């Protein structure tokens, strides 16, 4: 299923394509988000889910539909009458008494014949005792309301091995829920950042400067004049300004106003939108193009230390190292230019010409960038292009272990102050989980829950009123897995799983806490 690749734009636009094949049509609405590369990653993924309760099957539904490669459900439970009532991937009374995992796998697979699914009815504990490595054979593991003792074991196991898969931990009770991703390191090239790369109008490359200066407004007819792209207008205006201001750009507010006025003065009539665009974009002249601070920070990443770098086989860090050198050694010490040009008022010829100037320069800088790449590593040309195109939005995330948040007193008291409701929900869910170990089978009282919360945060800690509300809800319906809560978690967790698997978009950094009474979410830690 992995092999149908969408063509790259270059080929696609030089030869006429035939109508897309069945698979591309089926996945069309999602390929527009994560493209063929994201789809290929999904199709290579192997997901392990540690239950087949309503929340687990809701999550899986949203992963089977977009076409993950494989999933395994590990669940030794039999379908209870209550399960049959709240889980869409069981067939009501017909499923009662059967293996829950087998029923769920069968019904999940009906949705997409491109996906493999396995029901594993062994017990979690037996695998943990005899076949630990099995867990690491997956791309991603997801648990919902996993017994705390087992969760601790699993989280320990996965955090002790840096190549072990990420674990998404989901907990819920009635209207309240939370989830957290435990992982080691996560690098993102395609963050789909909403900021555009710099056009470098303040530091024009030679061909751009030369062309802008060659323009003579007086010799232009009205059509040419009204269709001169704002990039040229600004570059030209800026050169003029610098000449009469000792080489400096407009600095003070007054100077900037004057600069803008000068641009508008070039307008022959008020219909010339290109000069209005130039005025509106004038900030690009004084907003200096530099390496964005988030990217500069990545250059200090420990993975770039010479020793670490040699060991690390991840292409991402090879590319990052080359990027660092590029910004250090190549004038004007910015990220490599990209050929992405925004739309602007222009006629065809001038726009295409400008586009080609940018493209040619981007190619030149790419060639220089490539000379900085470690010769011993073989990196796909497509990956290099993608990396350079998205260089302004690169991210390196370093995860934390499950449970570290509570131990970090500063972070924790900060969260308690800024997100009292959500922090209390998180605490109450932890208390509920702890009670299932201490008093299995006993309905938790508000008092017991409060006691557990205090055991976590330390006696004497002052807790907001929101705690009573959270505890009250859990006491009301401690074991309720509401279909709507399950479905909502199914969506949110699947979104995060897709981001982790495709390495596109940015996954959550911390705990997502959800309150379905007020219908709010917040991120803690």
Partner 1 sequence: MSLSAAQPNGTSPSDWQDRYWHVDQVLEKPGPRTDPSFLAGREVQEFLRDKCKILVIGAGGLGCEILANLALTGFKDIHVIDMDTIDVSNLNRQFLFRPADVGKPKAIVAAEFIMNRVPGVIVTPYYGKIQDKDHEYYMQFNLVICGLDSVEARRWINATLVSMVDSDNPESLKPLIDGGTEGFKGQARVILPTITSCYECSLDMLNKPTTFPICTIANTPRLPEHCIEWASVLEWPKVHGDQKLDTDDPEHISWLYGVAFKRAKEFNIEGVTWSLTQGVVKNVIPAIASTNAVIAAACCNEAFKIATSSAAYLNNYFMLIGTDGVYSYTFEHEKREHCPVCGGEALEISINHDWTVEQLMEMLTEKQDIQIKKPSLSTPLKPIYFQQPPQLEKNTRPNLEKKVSDLVAAGGEVTVTSTTLPFSLSLIINYT
Partner 2 sequence: MLKIWSMKKNEDAMAKKKPKTSAAQIRVQKDLTELDLPETMRTEFPDPNDILNFTLIITPDEGMYKSGAFQFSFNINTNYPHEPPKVKCTQKIYHPNVDLEGNVCLNILREDWKPVLNLNSVMVGLQYLFLEPNADDPLNKEAAEELKKNREQFMYNVKASMKGGNVKGVQYAKVIVQ
Residue 22 binds: one of partner 1, partner 2, none (C-beta under 5 to 8 A by kind): partner 1
Query: Which of 226, 399, 444, 507 touches partner 2 (CB under 8 A)?
Result: 226
Query: Which of 14, 223, 348, 484 touches partner 2 (CB under 8 A)?
Result: 223
CB of 273 to partner 1, least distance (A): 10
The nearer residue to partner 1, 197 or 315, going by C-beta atoms, is 197
Q: Which of 334, 323, 327 is nearest to 386 (CA)?
A: 323
Straight-line distance from the first to the last Cα atom of the chain, in angstroms, rounded to the nearest whole number:
39
CB of 230 to partner 2, least distance (A): 16
CB of 515 to partner 1, least distance (A): 9
Residue 517 binds: one of partner 2, partner 1, none (C-beta under 5 to 8 A by kind): partner 1
Of 219-227, 324-332, 406-414, 444-452, which segment contacts partner 2 by CB under 8 A?
219-227
68 vs 64: CA distance, rounded Å: 6
Torsion from C-alpha of 93, 94, 96, 99, nearest 10 degrees: -150
302 vs 518: CA distance, rounded Å: 42
Q: What angle do CA 140, 66, 382 make, to 5 degrees?
A: 80
The nearer residue to partner 1, 136 or 340, going by C-beta atoms, is 340
Distance, CA of 356 to chain centre = 31
Query: Which of 194, 216, 221, 380 touches partner 2 (CB under 8 A)?
Result: 221
The nearer residue to partner 1, 77 or 377, going by C-beta atoms, is 77
CB of 222 to partner 2, least distance (A): 6
Largest distance between two CA atoms of the chain = 89
Residue 81 binds: one of partner 2, partner 1, none (C-beta under 5 to 8 A by kind): partner 1
The answer to the question of residue 349 lying near partner 2 (CB under 8 A) is no
SS3 469: helix
The nearer residue to partner 2, 271 or 380, going by C-beta atoms, is 271
The nearer residue to partner 1, 304 or 357, going by C-beta atoms, is 357
In this structure, the number of other CB atoms found within 10 A of the CB of residue 2 comes to: 13
SS3 282: coil
Q: What residue ranges in 92-230 does DSSP mark as E strands?
A: 116-120, 140-144, 167-173, 176-182, 185-188
Cβ–Cβ under 8 Å, residues 302 and 317: no
Of 37-45, 223-231, 280-288, 403-411, which segment contacts partner 2 by CB under 8 A?
223-231
Of 77-85, 220-228, 243-251, 383-391, which segment contacts partner 2 by CB under 8 A?
220-228
Residue 111 binds: one of partner 1, partner 2, none (C-beta under 5 to 8 A by kind): partner 1
Residue 221 binds: one of partner 2, partner 1, none (C-beta under 5 to 8 A by kind): partner 2
The nearer residue to partner 2, 15 or 223, going by C-beta atoms, is 223
Q: Which of 54, 51, 243, 223 is nearest to 151 (CA)?
A: 51
Query: Which of 227, 284, 324, 392 touches partner 2 (CB under 8 A)?
Result: 227
CB of 243 to partner 1, least distance (A): 31
419 vs 427: CA distance, rounded Å: 12
Residue 479 binds: one of partner 1, partner 2, none (C-beta under 5 to 8 A by kind): partner 1
CB of 124 to partner 1, least distance (A): 22
Residue 378 binds: one of partner 2, partner 1, none (C-beta under 5 to 8 A by kind): none
Check residue 194 and report its DSSP letter. Answer: S
The nearer residue to partner 2, 169 or 233, going by C-beta atoms, is 233
130 vs 410: CA distance, rounded Å: 39
**Residue numbers 255-284 binding partner 2 by CB under 8 A:** 271
Kindly report the backbone phi and psi dihedral angles of residue 438, in degrees, each rounded to the nearest multiple of 5, phi listed first.
-75, -40
The nearer residue to partner 1, 82 or 118, going by C-beta atoms, is 82
Cβ–Cβ under 8 Å, residues 131 and 35: no
Residue 519 binds: one of partner 1, partner 2, none (C-beta under 5 to 8 A by kind): partner 1
CB of 326 to partner 1, least distance (A): 26
CB of 507 to partner 1, least distance (A): 7
Contacts of 91 (CB under 8 A, 6+ apart): 84, 103, 107
CB of 232 to partner 2, least distance (A): 17
Cβ–Cβ under 8 Å, residues 337 and 200: yes
The nearer residue to partner 1, 55 or 327, going by C-beta atoms, is 55
382 vs 8: CA distance, rounded Å: 9
The nearer residue to partner 1, 173 or 334, going by C-beta atoms, is 173
Question: For the purposes of burial, counting CB atoms within 10 Å of the CB of 32, is it exposed (0-12), middle (13-18) or buried (19 or more)?
Answer: exposed
CB of 396 to partner 1, least distance (A): 15
Residue 226 binds: one of partner 1, partner 2, none (C-beta under 5 to 8 A by kind): partner 2
Tokens 């320069």, located at residue: 361
Written as six digits, the tokens of 239 are 């050169």
Three-state helix/strand/coil letters over 337-399: CCCCCCCCCCCHHHHHHHHHHHHHHHHHHHHHHHHCCCCCCCCCHHHHHHHHHCHHHCEEEEC
What is the DSSP pairing of strand 70-74 with strand 520-524?
unpaired
- How many residues contact partner 2, by CB under 8 A? 6
CB of 227 to partner 2, least distance (A): 8
The answer to the question of residue 222 lying near partner 2 (CB under 8 A) is yes
Helix (H) or strand (E) holding 186, with range, is strand 185-188
**Residue numbers 73-112 binding partner 2 by CB under 8 A:** none
* Site of interaction with partner 2 (CB under 8 A): 221-223, 226-227, 271
């Amino acid at each position: 299923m992995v092999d149908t690749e969408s063509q790259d734009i270059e080929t696609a636009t030089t030869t006429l394509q035939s109508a897309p094949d069945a698979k591309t049509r089926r996945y069309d609405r999602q390929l527009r988000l994560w493209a063929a590369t994201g789809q290929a990653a999904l199709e290579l993924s192997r997901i392990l889910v540690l239950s087949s309760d309503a929340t687990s099957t809701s999550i899986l539904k949203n992963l089977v539909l977009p076409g993950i490669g494989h999933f395994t459900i590990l669940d030794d439970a039999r379908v209870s009458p209550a399960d049959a009532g709240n889980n869409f991937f069981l067939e009501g009374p017909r499923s009662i008494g059967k293996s829950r995992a087998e029923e769920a796998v069968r019904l999940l697979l009906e949705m997409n014949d491109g996906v493999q699914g396995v029901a594993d009815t062994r017990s979690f504990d037996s695998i943990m005792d005899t076949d630990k490595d099995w867990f690491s054979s997956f791309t991603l593991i997801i648990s919902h309301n996993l017994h705390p003792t087992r969760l601790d074991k699993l989280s320990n196991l996965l955090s002790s091995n840096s190549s072990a898969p990420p674990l998404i931990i989901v907990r819920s009770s009635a209207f309240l829920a939370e989830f957290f991703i435990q992982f080691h390191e996560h690098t993102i090239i395609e963050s789909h950042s909403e900021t555009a790369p710099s056009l470098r109008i303040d530091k024009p490359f030679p061909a751009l400067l030369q062309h802008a200066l060659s323009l003579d407004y007086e010799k232009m007819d009205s059509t040419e004049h009204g269709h001169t792209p704002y990039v040229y207008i600004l570059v030209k205006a800026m050169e003029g300004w610098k000449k009469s201001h000792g080489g400096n750009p407009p600095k003070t507010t007054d100077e900037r106003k004057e600069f803008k006025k000068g641009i508008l003065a070039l307008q022959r009539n008020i219909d010339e939108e290109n000069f209005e665009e130039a005025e509106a974009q004038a900030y690009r002249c004084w907003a200096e193009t530099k390496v964005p601070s988030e990217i500069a920070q990545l250059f200090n990443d420990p993975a770039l230390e010479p020793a670490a770098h040699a060991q690390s086989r991840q292409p991402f860090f090879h590319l990052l190292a080359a990027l660092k050198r590029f910004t250090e050694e190549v004038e004007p010490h910015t990220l490599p230019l990209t050929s992405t040009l925004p739309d602007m008022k222009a006629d065809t010829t001038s726009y295409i010409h400008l586009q080609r100037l940018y493209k040619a320069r981007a190619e030149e800088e790419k060639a220089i960038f490539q000379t900085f790449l470690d010769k011993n590593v073989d990196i796909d040309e497509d990956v290099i292009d993608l990396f350079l195109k998205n260089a302004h939005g690169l991210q390196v995330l370093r995860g934390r272990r499950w449970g570290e948040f509570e131990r970090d007193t500063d972070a924790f008291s900060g969260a308690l102050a800024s997100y009292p409701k959500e922090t209390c929900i998180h605490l109450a869910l932890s208390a509920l989980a702890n009670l299932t170990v201490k008093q299995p089978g006993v309905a938790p009282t508000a008092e017991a829950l409060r006691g557990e919360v205090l055991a976590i945060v330390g006696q004497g800690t002052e807790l907001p009123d929101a705690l009573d509300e959270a505890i009250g809800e859990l006491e009301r319906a401690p074991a309720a897995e509401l279909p709507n809560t399950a479905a909502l978690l199914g969506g949110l967790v699947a979104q995060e799983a897709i981001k982790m698997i495709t390495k596109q978009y940015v996954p959550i950094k911390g705990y997502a806490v959800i309150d379905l009474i007020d219908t709010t979410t917040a991120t803690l830690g």
